[in-house]
Amino acid sequence: MSKETIISVDKVHVSFWQNNVGVHSIKDLITYRKSPFTNKTILNNISVEVNKGESLGILGRNGSGKSTLLRTIAGIIKPDEGKVTVKGTFAPILAIGAGLEQELTGYENITLLLALYGTARKNTNAVENIREFSELSDEVLRMPVKQYSSGMVARLAFSISLANESDILIIDEVLAVGDQGFQAKCLEKIYKIKNEGKTILFVSHFPDDVAKICNKAILLEHGELIHSGNSLDVCNHYRQLF
């Protein structure tokens, strides 16, 4: 395996301003007097490197900062401190319920995302490949995504992610809501992509899957990186959280 570093996250800190005192209007603001905003740290001093062809598992409880880390790596969120360097292209990040336009139909979402990521120009069979992998019927794909069950959304999201010929595949928990048959099919496909030498960032609540897919992993807790290293070891630490 080549040792070329494709993703480097160096001492990254991300915070958000939060209004958690219920100040929602100018009148509230005047009567409240103080600033209603507090700064909340979401990621604190995170460093991790991923080499070309490696698969990194990202584990942690809900709210520990996994999706924020993926968004920071993808350049959607700018860190307040630290540096992210990426040498490669991404597939769209389609987490559960994020990344798909609810008002658009399945087909419209496919067309939009393929156009955004330039896949349609390179692969004219992309729409057909997505339809086939998702096993969603023509009728379903003509419906707005807001009418889909969570399993149908997962099928569409995952199939679109796979259709992209990008260097880095990002999977953010999309497998969690698929049925078992579809999950198994997706894992097989991820495994194949891994063996083709692509780089994978894999967020999952199933340590067994992370151990199977990823050579290394990190464990986040309240935005801190509490373990990193060999995926089997990190998965064991994750299991001990519960």
Ligand X SMILES: Nc1ncnc2c1ncn2[C@@H]1O[C@H](COP(=O)(O)OP(=O)(O)O)[C@@H](O)[C@H]1O
When asked if residue 68 is in the footprint of Mg ion (CB under 5 A), the reply is no
**CA-closest candidate to residue 87, choices 48, 47, 122, 52:** 52
- Sites for ligand X among residues 68-97 (CB under 6 A): 68
Contact (CB, 8 A) for 29 and 189? no
Site string for ligand X, 20-59 (x = CB under 6 A): ----------------------x-----------------
Which residues lie across from 16 on neighbouring strands? 40
The entry of Mg ion, ligand X, none near residue 42 (CB within 5 to 8 angstroms by kind) is ligand X
Q: How many residues touch ligand X (CB under 6 A)?
A: 11
Q: Nearest distance from residue 73's CB to Mg ion, in Å?
A: 13
Tokens standing for residue 69? 């880390």
| Minimum CB distance to ligand X smaller for 42 or for 84 | 42
Q: Which residue in 44, 55, 64, 67 binds Mg ion (CB under 5 A)?
A: 67
When asked if residue 204 is in the footprint of Mg ion (CB under 5 A), the reply is no
CA dihedral (228, 229, 230, 234) in degrees, to 10, reads -20
Q: Which residue in 25, 31, 62, 180 binds ligand X (CB under 6 A)?
A: 62
The entry of Mg ion, ligand X, none near residue 63 (CB within 5 to 8 angstroms by kind) is ligand X
| Minimum CB distance to Mg ion smaller for 126 or for 220 | 220
Q: How far apart are CA 32 and CA 38, in angstroms?
A: 14
Q: Which residue in 18, 85, 89, 230 binds ligand X (CB under 6 A)?
A: 18
Helices 126-134 and 106-116, axial angle in degrees (round to 10) = 130
Q: Nearest distance from residue 26's CB to Mg ion, in Å?
A: 33
What are the C-alpha distances in Å from 81 to residues 4, 8, 15, 66, 233? 24, 14, 10, 18, 29
CA 134 to chain centre: 18
